Chain A
Amino acid sequence: MRDRVIFGGQLLFTALVAAFLIVPAILSMLAGITVNYFRGIGSGLTLQWVVAVWDLYAETIARSLLIAIATLAATLVVGVPAAYALNVRGGRFARTVEEVITLPLAIPGLAIALALLLTYNGFGDFRRSWLFILTGHVVFTLPFMVRSVMAVLSGIDVKTLDESAASLGAGPWRRFRDVIVPNARPGILAGSLAVVTLSLGEFNLTWMLHTPLTKTLPVGLADSYASMRLEVASAYTLVFFLMIIPLLVAMQLLADRPGTPERS
């Protein structure tokens, strides 16, 4: 009997905490498609707010997508070969480099943004373009790609694969392209999903780096929370959720598959 009471109590506690986290999210999704939030669902469902969001923020959303894809491309080009090289070299050198590139995770986005601003304020064109935001995103998401790929590489015998390909006559670039990259695919995939998700949701850095002409989705969200009516803000949040939920689900499915690196 006592066991049942304890079980019930713990279940209630856990359910309350889960509710605390989920209820507002559901509320916001509902509010985004309700005619009038104060009158509740009874006032009818509508897509007018979502349309309003599209009118106001379509460009911002598109820019966020552009930056996310560009960030992905950059981290792939920079991160995957680097992960391979670090894996091969190993030792203290690799650990130090890993430590250095992981620093941006430790330092608050605000500080990094400030640092970037102070350094590149003089480069007017660069600073005012979306490329500036791109650099911030790359610095922040690179460790995820590198570590994800390194985790997968450390689980396979890279050295032997490399050597056997070399014995068959393949040069370093061919080996990288035909042997290393395909075998690192789970790590590349996991890293890619992480990079895109993080880039789409990045705010701390982006808020400092943006200009009125280079807004991203989270920046737009902050705008709408401050100045738009609740339904519009909710609709915008709904759009954001719709974009990231498939990514999150994909990441979870990938993590459950055997052979993928653990998300650090």
Chain B
Amino acid sequence: MSFFAKPVPTFAGHARGLSHRSFLRLCLLPLAVVAAAFFLLPMVKLVIVGASGETGLSAYAAIVTQPRYRATLINTVLLAAATTAASLAIATIAGLFLQRHRFPGRAVLVAMLTFPLAFPGVVVGFMIILLAGRQGLVGELTSRLIGEKLVFAYSIQGLFLGYLYFSIPRVILTIMAAIEKLDPALEEAARALGAGPWAVHRDVILPALVPAFVASGAIAFATAMGAFGTAFTLATNIDVLPMVIYTEFTLSANIAMAAALSVGLGLVAWAMLALSRSLTGGTIAAAG
């Protein structure tokens, strides 16, 4: 499709100097240059490099064929899925509570729950260390209460908590917005027909929230799949895909493999976010 094919709807005339049409082209020029040079071109290069290793195109299949990568993929998917499910559940319970009741301190609670939205993954990792690391809060409390110091920041539980830490704020914002848009008449109609609170939730509220669940769940899943900073800080020996890509590139100098894995990861994340966009029309950035 030619960039200039479609006629610009308005201006037929031209003032002295630049015509409107040329001006618009000029407006888009920097964007075109930046996007092409620093995004499109590198992406293409990435795909090519991924196929240029010693195994050629089969590097792309390695993500499922080679046991090591397959295990990593499964790990990452399971972790992302668990994070998504848990944060949706938590966000729904907390979100319904916060939207349905007004009480002093509510605004503070909401701020506390959405504040970590801006934390980079590294900081999240540090938060988990402070909670459950070797000198963490949990360790102190448990050593006083049960005599044994509980440390789990550097295990899969710690990683899971870290993922939860950056997922909850994202998900809860979307869920709360959806709850606000619920039609109260639907709940009243169900109550008029005799439905108690549990039935109202099961038959009216939760089904109405399903689009929000899918949309925010897809974002949470994509973010968790691509999260790097958190795993990096927690220095776990749990393999997640982004860490494997990192080590392949920096330590093993297995560039083609790293590239191929990156493309695979990118495709999965993009597909999830495209799904979410098609259902709502908005996205929150993945960052973690």
A residues at B contact (CB < 8 Å): 7, 10-11, 13-15, 17-18, 20-25, 27-28, 31, 37-38, 74, 77-79, 81-82, 84-86, 88-89, 91-93, 97, 100-112, 114-116, 118-120, 135-136, 138-140, 142, 144, 146, 159, 162-163, 166, 169-173, 176, 197-198, 201-204, 207-208, 218, 221-222, 225-226, 230, 233-234, 237, 240, 244, 247-248, 262, 264
Q: Is the CB of B285 within 8 A of A144?
A: yes
Q: Is the CB of B10 within 8 A of A172?
A: no
Q: Which residues of B contact A115 (CB under 8 A)?
A: 42-43, 45-46, 259, 262
Bound-state Cα–Cα, A187 to B181, Å: 24
In this complex, which of A74, A97, A170 has the most chain B Cβ atoms within 10 angstroms of its Cβ?
Answer: A97
Q: Which residues of B contact A173 (CB under 8 A)?
A: 17-18, 23
Q: Which B residues, 228 to 281, have Cβ-Cβ distances below 8 Å to chain A?
A: 228-229, 232-233, 235, 242, 245-246, 249, 255, 258-259, 262-263, 265-266, 269-270, 273-274
Answer whether A13 and B97 are a contact pair too, CB < 8 Å, given A171-B15, A230-B135: yes
Q: Is the CB of A221 within 8 A of B122?
A: yes
Report 8 cross-chain contacts, Cβ distance below 8 Å, ordered by A residue: A21-B169, A25-B115, A27-B130, A105-B283, A112-B42, A172-B19, A222-B229, A233-B126
Q: Who on chain B is nearest to A197 by CB? A: B118
Answer whether A159 and B10 are a contact pair too, CB < 8 Å, given A13-B93, A115-B262, A225-B122: yes
Interface of B is mostly: helix
Q: Contact check: which of B43, B130, B169, B262 meets A24 at CB < 8 Å?
A: B130
Q: Is the CB of A111 within 8 A of B128?
A: no
Q: Which residues of B contact A116 (CB under 8 A)?
A: 38, 42
Q: How far is the CB of A36 from chain B (nearest CB, A)?
A: 11
Q: Which residues of B contact A226 (CB under 8 A)?
A: 233, 235
Bound-state Cα–Cα, A108 to B258, Å: 13
Total CB contacts across the A-B interface at under 8 A: 271
Q: Which B residues, 57 to 102, have Cβ-Cβ distances below 8 Å to chain A?
A: 90, 93-94, 96-98, 101
Known contacts A37-B135, A114-B249; 16 additional CB pairs below 8 A are A10-B96, A17-B168, A22-B115, A81-B27, A82-B30, A91-B6, A104-B39, A107-B43, A108-B228, A111-B245, A114-B46, A115-B42, A118-B46, A118-B49, A204-B229, A221-B122
Answer whether A105 and B286 are a contact pair too, CB < 8 Å, given A111-B266, A203-B122: yes
Q: How far is the CB of B229 from chain A (nearest CB, A)?
A: 4
Q: Is the CB of A111 within 8 A of B123?
A: no
Q: How far is the CB of B15 from chain A (nearest CB, A)?
A: 4
Q: Contact check: which of A104, A106, A234 meets B274 at CB < 8 Å?
A: A106
Q: How far is the CB of A3 from chain B (nearest CB, A)?
A: 9
Q: Who on chain A is nearest to B276 by CB? A: A106
Cβ of B189 within 8 Å of any chain A Cβ, yes or no, is no
Q: Is the CB of B120 within 8 A of A202?
A: yes
